[in-house]
Amino acid sequence: MTRKILRGRVLSFRAEPQTPDDTQSFDYIEDGALTVSDGLIEAVGTYSDLQTQAVGTEMIDHRPHLLMAGFIDTHIHFPQVQVVASWAVQLLDWLENYTFPEETRYADATHSKMMAGRFYDQLIDHGTTTAMAYCSVHKQSADAYFEEAAKRNMRMIGGKVLMDRNAPDGLRDTPQSGYDDSKALIEEWHGTGRALYAITPRFAITSTPEQMEMAGVLAAEHPECYVQTHLSENHDEIAYTAELYPQARDYLDVYETYGLLGPKMFLGHCIHLKEREIGVIADTGSHPVFCPTSNLFLGSGLFDDAGLRSKGIINAIATDIGGGTSYSMLQTLSEGYKILQLQRQRMHAFRAFYWITRGNAVALGLQDKIGTLETGSEADIVVLNSAATPAMELRAERIETLAEELFLMQIMGDDRTIAQTYIAGVAQKGHV
Ligand code: GUN
Ligand code: ZN
């Protein structure tokens, strides 16, 4: 058994902060420490307390940095690592001209394997310790995704996309093959080590009604799995969906009809929703996913976080690489802050850091395992340096409070802010 003590300023959320100075919602220990053993957090407390309990244990001193739960990204596309920053008008043109051609490469298992390694390197560098990803339509891309996660002992969620129309040759399955491949992947990966499966009908445009029905069958047969798709990202997408599903009352009705909604459903984007759709999302406990950098990059629109929350909906937040432009959940918060500003909504720093840790874990129903630094949690930890760049260091000279320090990282932070990332208690970046 390998036990170690990490020393630093420990910050972990117990509940969602309601106001910018809601100090009841988190634990903050100035000279804090975590004892980590067998991939779990064994103890949390002051350094002096923990040190006396574990005399002789290896100590890694991260002072003056902050120790927080690893970040969680709830919507990302694994086969789009080489699509980021592609010049396109908006969503449908971007998919057709860059994204779909790129994803055809993942038919090749060797390519998928190589890219899975590169993908996880990026996540770790940016402090993301759990993500829920779309793989390509090819089963081998999902195998590569889960194999590499298993090698790194990461808690990853994902699934092969189901898509049987409106996509080029080499990038379509059939209702039956999509069902069979998903079933085999669930059997092999869901609950294997730290892996969890997400049934993934890409979106209404790329699935026939027959395939949507099969996705519904899979979801009914596997209530333990997540479901993920896209909803109301772009006006042309919504209009095309209405043409393809003329009976549907609205876009969400396509997914509703096939029994795909519920607390395990993650709906990417949810920008241009109708009243009825918002009501159904609330009633079913489904989760919209806010993807700020993608929504700005593709010119999709402004996510109404406060409007959805006012109906009791729990929103998740994510990068949406490669429509998104950064792997960093800090950059995601920064762009998200600005999107909310444009709508006279605010995202204060405590809520922001809650959102990318415990908040996303709560949406996933995984708050007993990840997203916090509580005793018994999995030891996925980030070490944050709020003075990581000369510009941040200069600004940090004027900082007096924890909230100000967090806000600086929320706005100016990126991969350079991540001094270290621990996966199940194991440091991933060269020792700092
Ligand atoms: N809608 C369907 N597929 C995609 C995708 O890959 N990215 C984004 N942003 N939207 C989508
Ligand atoms: Zn997406």
- How many residues in the chain? 432
CA of 24 to the centre of ligand 1 (A): 38
Supply 218's token pair: 């899979």
- From the CA of 295, the nearest ligand is 1
| 2 Cα to the center of ligand 1, angstroms | 42
- Looking at the CA of 324, name the nearest ligand: 1
DSSP letters spanning 332-379: HHHHHHHHHHTTT----HHHHHHIIIIIHHHHHT-TTTSSS--TTSB-
Probe ligand 1: pick from 203, 237, 244, 332, max atoms within 8 Å of CB?
203
CA of 48 to the centre of ligand 2 (A): 46
Burial label for 352, CB within 10 Å (0-12, 13-18, 19+), is buried
Best mutation site among 99, 135, 240 for ligand 1, i.e. most ligand atoms within 8 A of its Cβ? 99
Q: Which atom of ligand 1 is nearest to the CA of 77?
A: 6
The whole-number pLDDT of residue 1 equals: 61
Pick from 359, 358, 364: which is nearest to 377 by CA? 358
Distance 69 CA to ligand 2 centre (A): 24
From the CA of 92, the nearest ligand is 1
Torsion of CA 347, 352, 358, 362, to 10 degrees: 30
Q: State residue 362 phi and psi, 5-degree precision.
A: -65, -45
Kindly identify the ligand whose nearest atom is closest to the C-alpha of 80.
1
Q: Which residues surround ligand 2, an ion (CB under 5 A)?
A: 268, 320
CA of 43 to the centre of ligand 1 (A): 41
Residues of the chain with pLDDT under 70: 1, 431-432
Distance 83 CA to ligand 1 centre (A): 12
Alpha carbon distances (Å) from 391 to 69, 330, 361: 25, 16, 32
Residue 431 is predicted with a pLDDT of: 47
Beta bridge partners of 321: none
Query: Of ligand 1's atoms, which has the minimum distance to the CA of residue 300?
Result: 9
Q: How many of the other CB atoms lie within 10 Å of CB of 43?
A: 17
Q: Give the helix ranges, DSSP H, for 163-234.
A: 175-189, 209-221
CA-proximal residue: ligand 1, atom 1 (nearest): 230
Which-ligand-closest: CA of 237?
1
Task: Tell whether omega for the bond before 263 is within 30 degrees of 0, i.e. cis.
Answer: no
3-class state of residue 69 by DSSP: strand
Q: What are the φ/ψ torsions at residue 322 (nearest 5 degrees)?
A: -100, 5
pLDDT in tens, 389-427: 999 999 999 999 999 999 999 999 999 999 999 999 999
Q: Distance between CA 269 and CA 282 in Å, rounded?
A: 15
* Distances in whole angstroms, Cα of residue 102 to Cα of each of 148, 277, 418: 20, 32, 30
Pocket residues: Cβ below 6 A from ligand 1: 77, 91, 95, 99, 202-203, 230, 233, 294, 320, 323
Residue identifier of the C-alpha nearest atom 8 of ligand 1: 323
Nearest residue to 156 (alpha-carbon basis) of 366, 349, 13, 3 = 366
Looking from the CA of residue 320, the nearest atom of ligand 1 is 9
Question: Do residues 73 and 119 lie in contact, with contact meaning Cβ atoms separated by under 8 Å?
Answer: no
